[in-house]
């Protein structure tokens, strides 16, 4: 990703093209469903620009201003995951999201983007970075880290994944240059939930080597890491290696507690809850995670990784 960027995906014959790309979703710790997979096919990818994707945050933000949680929930696809700033529980259903926003909207939040990265793929897009909310009821301000993943459903862009976590310090990254992609066709790599689930195991095994460069090998050259123990989005491979050099000193080993997997044309999202045990200190941290993977023609690599500690409370 252009290191301020994440991004993705598109269609002119969208309604037909989208139906050709199988999507799988799985919740909790149940084993992956082998019959849910994206088979080899060609998809027509709708044209998109950064301006268009950036405007989707404005649409979401304007729905907050209505004070109506139903209008906010309308921005989310039927199969979507909200990992919210103020909740430990991933919100999977429309009712879950309405329940969360019912409480969130009581303080009259208005958001603004402080810095962002936008990247595209076929009929999906990712907007990630830092934002700040001002709460009209209390006057308080809260800065956070965000990742929105959008999918074109044949008629409009909807949120399929939204991960938001609190920012504890003022580290702002510059907005990247605008770019766009035109309508095109793309051959979609065959995969299934079992393969996508195994990518976490590959990443976790690389942690056990103790070598930062082995961990970084899981990430695409253009990728964004919003890590558990740093507020700063890490855009370059050198940034990631520096972070993991520090992180690996604690000898972390992770396991998945709950997950949802969604597959699209040459992209896949694995998100949910995980726990890290740090063998050096004997401590344990429970967190929320979002991995977005992209097929680069040879391998599945991490394009976007957002990790955050579980918030206190519910």
User: Which of 137, 157, 187 finishes a domain?
Assistant: 187
Query: Within a 10 A sphere around the Cβ of 231, how many other Cβ atoms?
Result: 17
Give the range among 96-100, 173-177, 197-201 with minimum mean pLDDT: 173-177
| CATH classification of the domain holding 147 | 3.10.450.50
For position 174, what pLDDT does the model report? Answer: 42
User: Which of 118, 153, 187 finishes a domain?
Assistant: 187
DSSP secondary structure letters along 88-149 = SS-B-SHHHHHHHHHHHGGG-EEEEEEEEEEEEETTEEEEEEEEEEEETTT--EEEEEEEEE
For residues 140-156, give the mean pLDDT. Answer: 93
Q: In this predicted model, what pLDDT tens digit does every residue of 50-77 receive, in sequence order? A: 999 999 999 999 999 999 999 999 999 9
Per-position b or e across 70-82, b if 16+ CB within 10 A of its CB: ebbbebbbeebbb
Residue 233 domain boundaries: 191-309
Nearest Cα to Cα of residue 148 among 80, 234, 219: 80
Whether residue 150 lies inside any domain: the answer is yes
Whether residue 1 lies inside any domain: the answer is no
User: Which of 152, 187, 222 finishes a domain?
Assistant: 187
H/E segment holding residue 16: helix 14-19
CB burial of residue 283 (10 Å; 0-12, 13-18, 19+): exposed
DSSP secondary structure letters along 29-84 = TPPP-TT-EEPSEEEEE--EEHHHHHHHHHHHHHHHHTT-HHHHHTTEEEEEEEE-
Tokens of 204: 């976790």
Beta bridge partners of 190: none
CA 61, 63, 68, 71 dihedral sign is: negative
201 and 176 in a common domain: no
For position 123, what pLDDT does the model report? Answer: 93
Number of domains the chain is built from: 2
For position 34, what pLDDT does the model report? Answer: 40
Whether residue 94 lies inside any domain: the answer is yes
Tokens of 192: 């299934």
178 and 196 in a common domain: no
Find out whether 261 and 115 touch, Cβ atoms under 8 Å. Answer: no
For residues 188-196, give the mean pLDDT. Answer: 94
């Amino acid at each position: 990703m252009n290191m301020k960027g994440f991004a993705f995906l598109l269609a002119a014959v969208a309604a037909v093209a989208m139906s050709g790309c199988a999507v799988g979703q799985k919740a909790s710790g149940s084993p992956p469903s082998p019959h849910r997979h994206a088979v080899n096919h060609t998809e027509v990818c709708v044209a998109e620009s950064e301006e268009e994707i950036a405007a989707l945050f404005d649409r979401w933000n304007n729905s907050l201003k209505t004070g109506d949680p139903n209008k906010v929930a309308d921005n989310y696809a039927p199969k979507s995951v909200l990992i919210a700033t103020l909740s430990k529980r991933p919100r999977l259903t429309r009712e879950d999201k309405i329940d969360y926003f019912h409480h969130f909207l009581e303080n009259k939040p208005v958001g603004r983007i402080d810095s962002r990265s936008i990247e595209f793929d076929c009929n999906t897009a990712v907007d990630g970075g830092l934002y700040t909310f001002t709460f009209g009821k209390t006057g308080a301000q809260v800065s956070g880290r965000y990742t929105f993943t959008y999918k074109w459903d044949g008629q409009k862009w909807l949120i399929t994944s939204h991960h938001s976590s609190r920012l504890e310090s003022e580290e702002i990254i510059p907005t990247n240059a605008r770019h766009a992609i035109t309508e095109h066709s793309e051959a979609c790599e065959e995969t299934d939930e079992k393969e996508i689930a195994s990518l976490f195991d590959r990443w976790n095994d690389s942690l056990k080597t103790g070598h930062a460069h082995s961990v970084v090998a899981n990430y695409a050259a253009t990728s964004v890491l919003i890590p558990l123990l740093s507020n700063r989005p890490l855009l370059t491979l050198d940034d990631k290696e520096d972070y993991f050099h520090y992180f690996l000193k604690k000898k972390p080993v992770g396991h998945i507690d709950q997950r949802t997997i969604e597959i699209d044309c040459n992209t896949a999202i694995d998100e949910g809850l995980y726990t890290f045990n740090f063998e050096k200190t004997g401590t344990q941290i429970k967190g929320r995670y979002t991995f977005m993977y992209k097929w680069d023609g040879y391998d599945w690599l991490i394009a976007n990784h957002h990790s955050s500690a579980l918030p206190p409370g519910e």
